[in-house]
Amino acid sequence: MWEQLFQELTNDTPDRQRPAFRPSLADFDGFEVMRDFNLPQSYREYAAVFGPGLLARFFHIGVPGCPALGMLADLALLDEDSPSHAPVAFLGEVHEGGDVAQLKRMMFFCATEGSDTIGWDPTEMTDRAGPEYAIYFVPRIGPQVPVANSFPEFITEVCLGSRLAERANFALEEWGTPYRRVFRPG
């Protein structure tokens, strides 16, 4: 599935370069042990093909094991700079109306060009076999919004579709158009 999608997307580099970094099995396993969190198998498979990068001109998806590439590429650094590590009082003020306890337990894997964050809620398992978790969009200001029930759904319906516009009242003219079917390796 992911290799086919990678081939279908426009590669936003001059020579359609492959990702410079792809996580190894040890990177995934080490992250899971360090964070006490089981990454979805679908995410592992995506990350092994795509590596870190910018999808649909808007979504920076991090992968484990590449801190030298920076905060938007490395999963651990991206999560450490997320709402889950912010003081509770700050979260209650900035994300008024949101579930602060949920924000504190989330595992963030994506940051947007608009400085929003996206992550899994480990207590909302949608498929134990995967595992898969509910995915939430957390705007810079305001409450979090559920956007997908699995990582594949996040990629197809949120990143490459128009669900974020529908669920989070996030208006961009080109949602779901060929303009967004782009990947730039990180």
**Which of the 8 DSSP states describes residue 111?**
E
> In angstroms, how far is the first alpha carbon of the chain from the final one?
21
Most confident of 18-27, 142-151, 159-168, 174-183: 142-151
- Residue range 51-64: mean pLDDT, rounded: 94
User: Which domains, and CATH codes, for the chain?
Assistant: 2-185 (3.40.1580.10)
Rounded percentage of the chain residues whose pLDDT exceeds 70: 90
- Bridge-partner residues for 146, per DSSP? 136
Query: What are the tens digits of pLDDT across the range 68-88?
Result: 999 999 999 989 888 777 777
171, pLDDT greater than 80: no
Query: What are the tens digits of pLDDT across the range 11-48?
Result: 766 665 666 789 999 999 999 999 999 999 999 999 99
